[in-house]
Structure 1
Amino acid sequence: MRLFVGDDWAEDHHDIEVMDSSGRRLTRARLPEGVTGMGRLHAILGELAGEHADKIEVLVGIETDRGPWVRALITAGYTVLAVNPPQAARFRDRLGVSGAKSDPGDAHVLADMVRTHGHELRPVAGDSAQAEAVKVVTRTHKTLIWERTRHTQRLRHALRDYFPAALAAFDDLDAADTLELLSKAPTPAQAAKLTMAQISAALKRVRRRNIPAKAAAIHSALRADHLGQPEAVTAAYAASITALLAVLTTLNDQIKALQGQVEAHFGQHPAAEVILSQPGLGVVLGARVLAEFGDDPARYTSAKARKNYAGTSPITRASGKKKVALARYVHNDRLIDALLSQAFSTLRISPNAHAYYQRQRARGVGHNAALRQLANRLVGILHGCLKNGTRYDEATAWSHHAELATR
């Protein structure tokens, strides 16, 4: 016996509808978020199953794949199918063209979608608690890095508008020594009064090399003639960047602290050794790859399935006599970012990877496309290593391509 549940979720409640295999609505309800709502859902399904409770299979369609509610559904033994919201919207159009929409109506759409197309939907992966922990810390770590980049760009734009000498003096605006010196002297007049001793001390604290030459260059740049702003405008800009500098300093501290957490959680995962054996993957990048792929052994049935999820494999569009292969633009941004970073790093440390990249370039493929194809190949290698529990071996991983290159 099968029951199909559509779950339209909101922050504080869930609208559910339960169907049988024929599409007949058995019940609908609005449940509160949390333990009370989950208990009521179990009671509803148990009452509908009756004496067949031990043989019932429950499939739940919901437009999310994370959170305590989803975790509770999986723990209860239900098959949870994560539905992409655009997919649900298109399916809704099949059931009516009026454009009407409601939460109970969305629950009906999800239940019917799971009933008729459940075999085409991806179940929520059963990742381990260790993998989930790695995902939490790596995603936060990467988010903070993105935030630091955004705030650094804001700082750059502000300095360009009122203090261009700072851009000439400092190459790395989010570096600790730059933040320290700009905090001490946020205006051109104050910066011009910084002494060689003050600049050298800031460079020494972050262990810069060739301190005398760098300090002299900064000292000279801060005293050079540049266009500026009126005193009142300069003071306003100085107040603004002081706030930005404080945010960047905090972000740097938290990024460093979270990196330690990333390393600790990733190091405890049993797949860490295999992942770290891959070329171009260090602890942080390897942790991101593990976090976004997950560790459910049944999630990827083949290397092709893993490549498709990664977004590195091309998609084919064919119509009549026209057939083209295009890059996948719908993908996990965090995962593709990590994989392309790995591919770029691999060019310097793996002769076979570099040769593979050069062959793509020789065919007239651009740098980004060639890098994506290399990343696609590396995903296949990673899949084989994880499946067999073996470490990366340069000769084995590229043996097939080495044979092709010699023909």
Structure 2
Amino acid sequence: MHQPTTTTTTTSANLPDDTDPEAPTRWAGVDWSWSDQAVCVVDDTGAAVERFTVPNTTTGLSTMVTTLHRHRVTGVAIERGDGPVVAALLAAGLTVFVIVARQVSALRTRYSTAGNKDDRFDAYLLADVLRTDRRRLIPLTVDTDATVGLRMLIRTRADLVKARVAAHNQLRAHLQLAHPGAVGLFHEAHLQLAHPGAVGLFHELAGTVSLAFLERFPTPRHAAWLSEKRLATWLRSARYTRSNTRTAAQLLDHLRQAPPGHPDGPAADSAQVITTQLVALLRSLKERITIIETHIEQALDAHTDGAVFTSLPRSGRVRAATLLAEIGDARGRYPTDDALAAAAGISPSTRASGRSHYVAFRRGCNYRLRQALVDFADGSRAGHPWAQNTYARARARGHNHAHAIRILARAWLRIIWRCWTENTPYDPDRHAAAVTARDQRTTPAGDIAVAS
């Protein structure tokens, strides 16, 4: 077995006495990896007391914890807030501080102009920065297992949704060449794209009827067999529900007016195989997403904070679960709503230098949390007058759609944070009363009231 390697010999003379209440203060840094961990312990002067490396095994992590306890370290700095190393440190009762990799990269020039990456040096850097800047750092607080499990489900669903979108786009690109008549045959919807003001036409091919049609008529050669009567019969068997708005005759005309694609020959045979496999992939992804969503609903119902997030207007199930999973349930992580807003990238970043002073978009943040809050805020406008009014006032001040949604998200965040910290479901009547009281006090328009 790979034994831990100690590169600085530590004798009993420079080890703290376990019985001495005035033992010297010591700090540790851990540069983690999936194979081994580089660890450095420094004293209160910044001198390295011990450096060692342990493998990422149960024995290695146990040796690391034992050594840190032997030195009676005050805190341990590491670059990430999860994983087996952090779990071992927390289980051993050690206080953990997270200094993210981007900060570590910037701090290397504090010790060397070269800025080279070295695991042993980074371990020392982490320990020494914790020694000198402890007051700027917040100890790591962890979420409960229920939240961790819910977050795993939410993020897996997001990954599967991305895979479904990619498979859908691949199928559409394939059909535009091989079977153009199938594109846009059954359903067309205008969707708001990510950037403001852009609207695109999205041809839905992942619907139940569309997938069934492609399975039965995967190429123009198969679709050529259809007549109006045959198509009407098939639509009834497929339980097509839009026959009043788009009849069989209109659908058949759409097919016949489309370019020929690959009607016959080896290319048509290859196209049939590709269409069949992509349809099967889409069906499988839809089924996997449905299964994950079922587990998400069960986990949300069982969570102690579930009622807080499901009480929010138009939060739904997945949206509420996403907010809960990304915010978490470790209240100490966000002592104020400003801290939560900064972590989510909802509050702006102020830059000032000399005569220059401007407010910029905050880019360093938890992107998943920001997306969850922005998605909720955007959806809340349809079912909440206060949300719609807040958005409208932001647009009236000249802000574009994306900026106005972030303003609304920041306003909602004050309310969500209060409900979250007090573990109290959202009360629309209480909120409305607070807004009315604010208006009667003629508070400035930019001040968003929060129910207290």
Normalising by structure 2, we get a TM-score of 0.82
Cα separation, 1, equivalents of 2:271 and 2:44: 66
Name whichever of 395-404 and 79-88 sits farther off.
395-404
Q: How many residues align?
A: 396
1:198 aligns with 2:230: no
1:344 counterpart = 2:371: no
CA distance in 1, matches of 2:371, 2:251: 34
Q: Secondary structure at the match of 2:333?
A: coil
Q: 2-side partners of 1:333 and 1:257: how far apart?
A: 25
1:296, distance to aligned residue in structure 2 (A): 0.7
Name the Cα RMSD after superposition.
Answer: 2.2
**In the alignment, which of 102, 109, 113 is matched to residue 125 of structure 2?**
109
* Matched residue SS, 2:347: coil
Q: Closer, same or farther in 2 for the Cα pair 1:260/1:272, shift >3 Å?
A: same
* Distance in 2 of aligned mates of 1:395 and 1:315: 30
1:288 to 297, 322, 325: 322
More moved, 324-333 vs 141-150: 324-333
Equivalent residues of 2:186, 2:209 under 8 A apart? no
> How many angstroms apart in 2 are the aligned matches of 1:120 and 1:133?
30
Match of residue 43 from structure 1:
66
Q: For the residues of structure 2 that align with 1:165 and 1:122, how far apart are their CA atoms?
A: 59
Partner Cα separation in structure 2 for residue 80 and residue 306 of structure 1: 20
1:173 and 2:173 matched = no
Do the aligned residues in 2 keep the contact of 1:181 with 1:199 (CA within 8 Å)?
no
Aligned to 2:418: 384
How far apart are 1:357 and its partner, in Å? 1.0
After superposition, the Cα gap between the structure-2 partners of 1:335 and 1:218, relative to the gap in structure 1 and judged at 3 Å, is farther
The structure with the greater share of residues assigned to helix is: 1
Offset at 1:354? 1.0
Q: Please say which structure displays the higher CA radius of gyration.
A: 2
User: Which 4+ runs in 1 deviate beyond 6 A?
Assistant: none
Distance 1:329 1:46 in 2: 38
Partners of 2:184 and 2:205 within 8 A in 1: no
**C-alpha offsets along residues 83-122 of structure 1, whole Å, 9 cap, x if unaligned?**
2211111111221122433221222222222222233234
Q: Which residue identity does 1:38 align to in structure 2? A: L
164, 170, 177: which one aligns with 2:180: 164
Instruction: Tell me if structure 1 keeps the 8 A contact 2:300–2:321.
Output: yes
AA partner of residue 223 (structure 1): R
Q: Secondary structure at the match of 1:325?
A: strand
In the TM superposition, what whole-angstrom CA distance separates every residue of 1:178-207 from its partner, at most 9, and x where no partner exists?
2222123221211333542233322x2xxx
Q: Give the superposition deviation at 1:397.
A: 5.3
Structure 2: gaps spanning 5 or more residues: 1-23, 188-203, 446-452
Share of identical aligned residues, percent? 30
1:223 match = 256
Q: 2:65–2:89: 8 Å Cα contact kept in structure 1?
A: no
- How far, CA to CA, are the matches of 1:310 and 1:42 in structure 2? 33
Structure 1 alignment gaps of length 5 or more: 50-55
Aligned to 2:166: 150
Pairwise mapping of residues 113-128 of structure 1 onto structure 2 (< 5 A)? 113-128=129-144
Equivalent residue, structure 2, for 1:53: none
Q: Provide closer, same or farther for how the CA distance between residues 351 and 68 of structure 1 changes in structure 2, counting only shifts above 3 A.
A: same
1:182 alignment partner AA: L
Which amino acid in the other structure matches residue 386 of structure 2? N
> Quick one: which amino acid aligns to residue 352 of structure 2?
A
State the alpha-carbon separation in 2 of the partners of residues 164 and 292 from structure 1: 41
In the TM superposition, what are the counterparts of 1:2-401 in structure 2 within 5 Å? 2-49=25-72, 57=74, 59-171=75-187, 172-194=204-226, 195-196=230-231, 197-202=233-238, 204=239, 209-211=241-243, 214=246, 216=248, 217-229=250-262, 231-392=265-426, 393=428, 394-396=431-433, 398-399=435-436
Is the 1:92–1:109 Cα contact (8 Å) retained in structure 2? yes
Q: Is the CA contact 2:32–2:85 (under 8 Å) kept in the aligned structure 1?
A: no
What is the CA–CA distance in structure 2 between the aligned matches of 1:176 and 1:222, rounded to whole Å? Answer: 19
Q: Deviations over 1:22-75 (max 9, x none)?
A: 1111111111113111110122123323xxxxxx53x22222222222122112
**In 1, Cα distance between equivalents of 2:54 and 2:434:** 52
Q: What is the CA distance between 1:214 and its match in structure 2?
A: 4.4
143-152 or 249-258, larger mean C-alpha shift: 143-152
SS in 1 for 2:331: coil
Distance 1:124-1:147 versus aligned 2 partners, 3 A rule: farther
